[in-house]
Amino acid sequence: MFTLLKRVLRALPAKVHSAPPVVSKRKGEMPDWARIIATNPGLWDESVRKSAQGPRVLMATVVGGYPQFTLLESALSLALTLRGVRVDTLICDGALFGCLRAKIAGLSPEQLAAHDIGHVMCKGCQGSARAVFDSTGLNQVHLSSLLSAQDEESARHLAQTVPVDQIDSYVLDGIPVGEHSMAGALRYFGVGDIAGQRCAEGVLRAYFESGLRTAYAMRNLLDQTAYDAIVTNHGIYTPHGIINAVARRRNIHTVAWNLAYRKQCAIFSHNDTYHHTLMEEPVGLWDAMDWSPAHEADIMAYLDSRRGGKNDWIWFNRDGDSDMDGFSRDSGIDWSRPVIGMLTNVVWDAQLHYPANAFENMLDWVMQTVDYFAARPDLQLLIRVHPGELAPPGGQTVSRQPVAEAIHSHFGGTLPKNIFIIRPESKVSTYAAMDRCNAVIIYGTKTGVELTAQGSPVIVAGEAWIRNKGLTLDATDADSYFRILDGLPFAERLDAGTMGRARKYAYHFFFRRMVPVPFLDSTPEAWPPYRIAVDTLDELLPGVSPGLDILCDGILDEARPFVYPAEILGRHDLQQSEAVAS
């Protein structure tokens, strides 16, 4: 799966630019659930009693040291209990040797390969889990208690003996353990291929053994306990991707979620990671919704705000430089001639198998695309490298395989005269630059949703969520991709009908699929970027928050979509603004 990346990256200089240090933020506020429960102990005691006979949900948090997930998951656990649900929380108690919390900045490859994660971060991770979940009084299931000595020996044996070049494709009884183990190792290193990394094989084998242990533990748990639904954050990597896969193998309803881009919002999906489901959801889910000039004005105002990121808590390139004439003078690009934009992804992010991809991976797409344009001097290619490579918000993984360096190395250090790169640290506005392009080529970026709404023709080569909506030119293989490129430059922008549908989809994507949860109070100077602003237990009852009701209802019934009807209930952020103004 990663062979082409290996070939390209071996051509890179041995010394890759170091990423700048991530600026740490102050620790956010943790919820005191015992105090909140004490505001109505009678209600809580009665809810716990009733829930013993109710549906059963596993809140598969596992990695307790990620407060951006534990905070909302603990709130969901209480809210579900108030709705008559018996909730168990799955927590890792040092049973894994590699997980999605491990980062090379805080744990060396030598330490991870030697299974020293427990000495470095497990104690703090477990302490965070206890601080959040113990005060709820709800049942916790610890991962190590689900592993027998035979399971541990089997995982150890396989992790040591499976050939390293076969690990990423290893499947255990239908569970793609190897794929998620490799994705976890890539995320740890912050690269798109582990070849050449320190202790690469040892790190991968540590993740692989952890993936196997997760699979065995989940199989044992599901042999013992019948769950109606299992909730995980991400839904990919180690361990959450494997937990999801084991559950789906047994036809158990799963829910995967993450924080959304908009403040006070989360995005949830049924039975697979949202990385997949958003490409596959039925067009009728949004194409037939009520629509008016007021709805269109709302989404266009929000898209305009995206250029500065003022309504988002996940953002890149905030308040970028929109002086495109100045950029032309500095770079030599000629706006009077056709310019094709190209938006890259971070190379390590969500490295999973996507059947619709026209290329093996993102970097393979980059290299084949720049080769194509090098032979098209009639066109200029403007590559905007993802700003998240070097300056991700919230202290996320910093990419250690810069795309710009890979492209320069590919051309021997001198770019063709018609190829231009906006580096990740550049303050040049992505939006302003793409506005000046004849068309934009993307792989997996969410920006495709915004570009189509503004009328830009978009060509999709990878797993972008705008794919399959009838709004973009979607390549299904390399041949179809290059046939699309052969048609460049395009004679015109999107027609009015297509652009109107694109705005409707953007509304659905940003206002309906991103479900508002008002008690996620934004704390931009802290990490996580929110706190649980709940003072009484009654605030988590049904009927208080439409967004919370949608999340709880969807967890309990997979026929209920995780869609907030903003076109009927109104935009949450507008409601907040009106409340402040009054």
* Cα–Cα distance measured from residue 79 to residue 74, given in angstroms and rounded to the nearest whole number: 9
Distance, CA of 69 to chain centre:
13
Across 454-474, average pLDDT: 93
Residue 508 within a domain: no
- pLDDT of 19: 36
Q: Higher confidence at residue 388 or residue 167?
A: 167
Across 370-377, average pLDDT: 97
* Cα–Cα distance measured from residue 458 to residue 498, given in angstroms and rounded to the nearest whole number: 12
Same domain, 392 and 457: yes
* Cα–Cα distance measured from residue 452 to residue 496, given in angstroms and rounded to the nearest whole number: 11
**Closest among 141, 122, 217 to 177, alpha carbons compared:** 217
Domain boundary among 459, 494, 529: 494
Residue 15 within a domain: no
pTM of the shown model:
0.88
- pLDDT of 401: 65
- pLDDT of 425: 82
List, for residues 60-91, the tens digit of each pLDDT value: 999 998 888 999 999 999 999 999 999 999 99
Q: Of 262-271, 286-295, 394-403, 472-481, where does mean pLDDT reach its minimum?
A: 394-403
Same domain, 162 and 237: yes
* Domain CATH number, residue 209: 3.40.50
Q: Higher confidence at residue 10 or residue 524?
A: 524
Beta bridge partners of 521: 531
Residue 511 within a domain: no
Give the start-end residues of each E strand in 226-320: 229-233, 253-259, 265-270
Q: Which domain holds residue 400?
A: 320-494
Same domain, 105 and 240: yes
Coil/strand/helix, residue 441? strand
Same domain, 530 and 467: no
Same domain, 364 and 457: yes
Burial (0-12, 13-18, 19+ Cβ within 10 Å), 423: middle
Residue 28 within a domain: no
- Please check the confidence at residue 44 and state whether its pLDDT lies above 60: yes
Same domain, 119 and 243: yes
Residue 303 within a domain: no
Calculate the average pLDDT of the chain: 87
* Cα–Cα distance measured from residue 371 to residue 381, given in angstroms and rounded to the nearest whole number: 11
What confidence tier does 354 reach under pLDDT thresholds 50, 70, 90?
Answer: very low
Domain boundary among 462, 494, 526: 494
- Please check the confidence at residue 15 and state whether its pLDDT lies above 70: no
Same domain, 201 and 275: yes
Residue 463 within a domain: yes
Coil/strand/helix, residue 484? helix
Same domain, 483 and 528: no
Same domain, 411 and 541: no
Domain total of the chain: 2
Same domain, 525 and 464: no
- pLDDT of 348: 59
Same domain, 472 and 523: no
**Closest among 213, 98, 58 to 145, alpha carbons compared:** 213
* Domain CATH number, residue 366: 3.40.50.2000
Contacts of 376 (CB under 8 A, 6+ apart): 418, 485, 488
Residue 310 within a domain: no
Contacts of 15 (CB under 8 A, 6+ apart): none
Residue 50 within a domain: no
- pLDDT of 333: 97
Same domain, 520 and 481: no
What confidence tier does 311 reach under pLDDT thresholds 50, 70, 90?
Answer: low
List, for residues 394-424, the tens digit of each pLDDT value: 445 555 567 888 899 999 989 999 999 999 8
